[in-house]
Amino acid sequence: MRSIFSFSFLLIFIAGLARDNKINQIEYVDFTRVAAEVSIYPEKGEVNGIATYTFNILKDTDSLYIDARNIDFTLLKLNGNEIDYTYDGSRLWIRNSFKPSEENKILLHYNTRPKQALYFINWNLEENINVHQQVWTQGQGRYTSHWLPSFDDPAEKAVFALKINFKKGFEVISNGEFLGKRIINDTLEQWDYEMKKPMSSYLLAIAAGKYEKEVINSSSGVEIINYFMESDREKVESTYRHSAEIFNFYETETGTAYPWKNYRQVPVQDFLYSGMENTGATIFSDAFVVDEIAFNDQNYVNVNAHELAHQWFGNFVTAATNEHHWLQEGFATYFALLAEKEIFGEDYYYWKLFQSAEELKSLSDEGKGEPLVSSRGSSITYYQKGAWALHILREEIGAAAFKSAVTQFLKKYSYSTATTEDFLAEARTASGKNLEEFESDWLQQSAFQGTAALESLKRSNFIREYMEIAALRQVPFESKKDILSRALDFPVNDYTGQEVVYQLQGITDAEAIKLYRKAFQSGNLYVRQAIAVSMELVPTELKTEFISLLKDKSYITIENALLNLWLSFPEEAGRWLEATRGIEGFSNKNVEMLWLVINLVTPQVDPEMTSQNFEKLSSYTRSYYPFGVRQNAFGYLYQINAFTDQNLKDLLQAGQHHNTRFRDFSRKLLETLLQDEKYREKYVDLSEGLTVENKEFLNSRMKSSRQVN
C-alpha cells in the first residue's frame, strides 16, 4: 500500500506542476478587461496600484494565474470575497473550483519598486540642474507585469483602462482615448485613459514628462499626436516629417483602416531600443529628435514607419506563438520599406534589400542561417529575412493578390492571434497558387536563397549598375578610371557615387585628383560625405574643395572634415575650429565634442579657455545626460587620458545603466582602466566615498579584473 500511495501522490504532484506551468491558460480562462489605478512616485521609484480584472471561465479548472514580478500584494478579492492565494515571485495563483461562468472579478491592491519595464529618468539628482525628468515603460521583452499584474502571454488580450496618478506639472501619456484629468491633492493629478478594443499586455504604455504636443490628422481623420520637449520645438517638423504620409500609405496599402482611436509618438531619454510600438502610442529614442541637418543622416522615418506598421502587424493581429514572430517583425520591416520607397524612391528600396541580402547571405554561408518560422530565431532572421520573404512572395503572386491576402488576413484575425499558415491560406486563396516551394525555400529552410534574391535585385537598373561598379574593387585604377568617371556624370546616384569614392581611397595621382574634383562638384551630399569619411590625409591640391565640406548639411560630413583637416593641416587648427565653432551636431554632440578635444590638444589656439573647455567635456559624463552624450565623452576622455575623480564615479554608474549597449561599453572601458595600476589605485582611494551600490559594483569588477590578469 505504501508504494502505491507514493506513486499516486507523485502522479498528482507532477500533474499539478504541469498545470502550474501551463502556458496556454486562455483555453480555460478569458480575461476581458483590466481597469487599474496606478500611482507612480518617481523620487522613490515606487508604484502603488489597485486593479480589477474581469474574466470568463471557459472550462472547468482548479486554478488561474496573473503574471506579477516582484510585487507585494496587500489585498485580493475574488467576486467580492477575500480568498487565499499563492505567489512565487513571478505568478499570482488563485486556486478554486472554477466552473464555466461570465463576468467574474478579481480585485488586487499592490505595490512594487520595479527594477525593469518601468524606468525613472533623472530623479533624485545630487545637484540642482535643469534636465528632462521622465518616466517611461518598455513592456516587450521585459514584461509589463513588473509594474502591473498582467499577462506575459501575448495571446491573452484584454481591454485596458488606466487611471494614472502622477506629479502635477507633467504630461502623462498612455494608450487609448484620453478621458480627462482631475486634481487629487496639492501634488498629484490623475490622468484617465481607456482602450476600446483588446490588446496584449506587453503593449501597455506610460510616459510622463514636461512635454508639449502638436496634433495633425490623417486623411481618414485620425489624430496623430506628436510630443516634444519645449527645447526641441524647432525640431518638430524635421523629426515627425512624413508621419501623416506614412499613416495614409498604410491605410491604403493594407486595405484596412487604422484599428485604434488615435496615434501618439513620444520621444524619451535613454530608451532601450530605437522605438516600441505600444498600442496607439509609440515610444522612441530621443536620439531621433533631429534638426534639418541631422535629418539627412539620422532621421526618424524608418523607426516611425516600422513602429506604425506594427499597429496593424503585431498589435491588431498578433503572432499566436513565438514561432510565428516574423508575422510581426517581418511585416513591419517590409511595410516600412514600402513606405520609405514612396518617400525616398525605388533606388533606396532596392539598396536596403541589397544590404540585408548581403548580410543574410554571409551568415548563411557561415552556417548561421535560420528558418523563418522558428521560436528561436535572431532579430536579423525575423526582421530582414522576413521582409525578404514578403518581397519575394509579392513578386511571385503579384501586388494585387498580395494586397488582397494582407487585407483578408487582417480582417479575419482582427484583435486576435494568427499563425503563418493562417497568412499563407489567405495568400493561396488570393493568388490561386499552392506556394509549397515558397514556403519551403523562404520559411522553412535555414539557408538564405541568395540566387533568387540576386535575380530579384537585378530587376533594378540601379542595382545592376551598382554591382558593375562594385565588381571593380580589385581592378587596378588605371584600368577602371574611365568607368569610374562615367559613374560620376551628373546626376550622380547616391550609392554608386559613394562606391566610386571608396574605390579612390588612398590613390592621389593626377587622374584620381580629377575624379575627386568631379565628385566634389557633383553636389551630391552623400558622395561628398564619402570623401569626408574616407580621405584621412587631404592632398594639398584638394584642400580648398575639402574645406567646403565644413558647410555641408551633414553632421557626419562636418565631423569627419574637421577631424581630417586638423590631422592633415594641424598648423591651421585655429582656422578649422573657428569655422565649426558653435556646431553641436547630433544629439550625442558629436561635432562639439570633437571640437573640444581638438581645442584641448592644441592649447596654443585658445589657451585662456583650456580649463573651461575641459570642464565642459568632462561634465558630459554625468548621469543626467543622455547615454549617447556620455558614451562620446567617456571615449574622448580615454583617448586623451584625462579622467577626473567624478568621471571615474560616473563610469561606475554607467556600468549599471539600464541600456545594455551603453552598460556594456562602460563595463569594457572600466575593465580597461582597471588594468592600469594608476587608475586602479584611484578607484581604491575613491571607494570609501562611494554609495553601497557603487562600492559593491566596483569590488566585483576589480575582482573580475584580477582574474583576467
**Cα 92 to Cα 20: distance, rounded to the nearest angstrom:** 11
**Cα 476 to Cα 470: distance, rounded to the nearest angstrom:** 13
**Cα 179 to Cα 176: distance, rounded to the nearest angstrom:** 9
pLDDT at 15: 36
**Cα 515 to Cα 698: distance, rounded to the nearest angstrom:** 54
Does residue 560 have a pLDDT over 50? yes
Does residue 10 have a pLDDT over 60? no
Strand partners, 398: none
For helices 494-504 and 525-534, angle between their N-to-C axes, nearest 10 degrees:
20
Confidence of residue 309 (pLDDT cuts 50, 70, 90): very high
Please count the other Cβ atoms lying within 10 Å of the Cβ belonging to residue 406. Answer: 24
Residues 6+ apart with CB under 8 A from 493: 347, 462, 465, 466, 487
Task: Name the DSSP letter for residue 75.
Answer: E
- How do strand 46-57 and strand 101-112 relate by DSSP bridges? antiparallel
**Cα 388 to Cα 357: distance, rounded to the nearest angstrom:** 8
Over residues 52-70, the pLDDT tens digits come to: 999 999 999 999 999 999 9
Confidence of residue 707 (pLDDT cuts 50, 70, 90): low
Over residues 375-390, the pLDDT tens digits come to: 999 999 999 999 999 9
Q: Angle at CA 609, nearest 5°, toward 604 and 129?
A: 155
Residues 6+ apart with CB under 8 A from 81: none
**Cα 198 to Cα 196: distance, rounded to the nearest angstrom:** 7
Mean pLDDT of 449-469: 98
Task: Name the DSSP letter for residue 198.
Answer: -
pLDDT at 129: 82
Residue among 75, 71, 78 nearest 29 (CA): 78
What per-residue string of b and e applies to 355-390 under the rule 16 or more CB within 10 Å gives b? Answer: ebbeebbebbeeeebbbbbbeebeeebbbbbbbbbb
pLDDT at 604: 84
**Cα 353 to Cα 348: distance, rounded to the nearest angstrom:** 9
Over residues 468-478, the pLDDT tens digits come to: 999 999 999 99
3-state secondary structure of 68: coil
Residue among 363, 251, 370 nearest 312 (CA): 251
Does residue 4 have a pLDDT over 80? no
Residue among 572, 526, 518, 534 nearest 552 (CA): 526
> Contact 52/176 with Cβ under 8 angstroms?
no
Please count the other Cβ atoms lying within 10 Å of the Cβ belonging to residue 174. Answer: 27
CA atoms within 13 A on the CB side of 600: 20
pLDDT at 634: 98
Does residue 9 have a pLDDT over 80? no
Over residues 645-676, the pLDDT tens digits come to: 999 999 999 999 999 999 999 999 999 999 99
pLDDT at 16: 42
**What are the backbone angles phi and psi of residue 490, rounded to the nearest 5°?**
-70, 140
Secondary-structure breakdown of the chain: helix, strand, coil percentages, each rounded to the nearest 5: 50, 20, 30
Confidence of residue 708 (pLDDT cuts 50, 70, 90): low
pLDDT at 702: 92
pLDDT at 602: 93
| Biggest alpha carbon–alpha carbon distance for the chain | 100
| Residue 695 grid cell | 562600492
What share of the chain has pLDDT > 90, as a percent?
93
Does residue 196 have a pLDDT over 70? yes
In DSSP notation, 357-383 reads HHHHHHHHHTT----SS-TT--HHIII
Does residue 533 have a pLDDT over 60? yes
**Cα 142 to Cα 658: distance, rounded to the nearest angstrom:** 11
pLDDT at 574: 96
**Cα 212 to Cα 209: distance, rounded to the nearest angstrom:** 9
3-state secondary structure of 93: strand
> Contact 505/522 with Cβ under 8 angstroms?
no
Task: Name the DSSP letter for residue 636.
Answer: H
End-to-end CA distance of the chain: 62
**What are the backbone angles phi and psi of residue 189, rounded to the nearest 5°?**
-125, 155
Strand locations in 195-312, DSSP E? 199-200, 206-209, 211-217, 223-229, 263-268, 275-278, 281-285
What share of the chain has pLDDT > 70, as a percent?
96
Instruction: State the amino acid at position 643 in one-letter form.
Output: F
CA dihedral 481, 484, 485, 489 (to 10 degrees): 170
pLDDT at 610: 93
Does residue 709 have a pLDDT over 80? no
**Cα 260 to Cα 309: distance, rounded to the nearest angstrom:** 13
Over residues 276-293, the pLDDT tens digits come to: 999 999 999 999 999 999
Per-chain mean pLDDT for the chain: 95
- What's the gap between Cα 246 and its chain centre? 19
Mean pLDDT of 333-357: 98
pLDDT at 19: 40
pLDDT at 603: 82
How buried is residue 323: exposed, middle or buried, by Cβ count under 10 Å (0-12/13-18/19+)? middle
Q: Which residue has the cell 562594385?
A: 470
> Contact 159/32 with Cβ under 8 angstroms?
yes
pLDDT at 77: 98
Confidence of residue 141 (pLDDT cuts 50, 70, 90): confident
**Cα 456 to Cα 447: distance, rounded to the nearest angstrom:** 17
Task: Name the DSSP letter for residue 439.
Answer: I
**Cα 218 to Cα 263: distance, rounded to the nearest angstrom:** 10
pLDDT at 24: 77
Q: Which residue has the cell 562636418?
A: 558
| Residue 560 grid cell | 569627419
- What's the gap between Cα 226 and its chain centre? 18
In DSSP notation, 123-181 reads -S-SS------EEEE--TTT-GGGTS-B-SSTT-EEEEEEEEEEETT-EEEESSEEEEE
> Contact 662/642 with Cβ under 8 angstroms?
no
| Residue 297 grid cell | 543622416
Residues 6+ apart with CB under 8 A from 611: none
Residues 6+ apart with CB under 8 A from 582: none
Instruction: State the amino acid at position 383 in one-letter form.
Output: Y
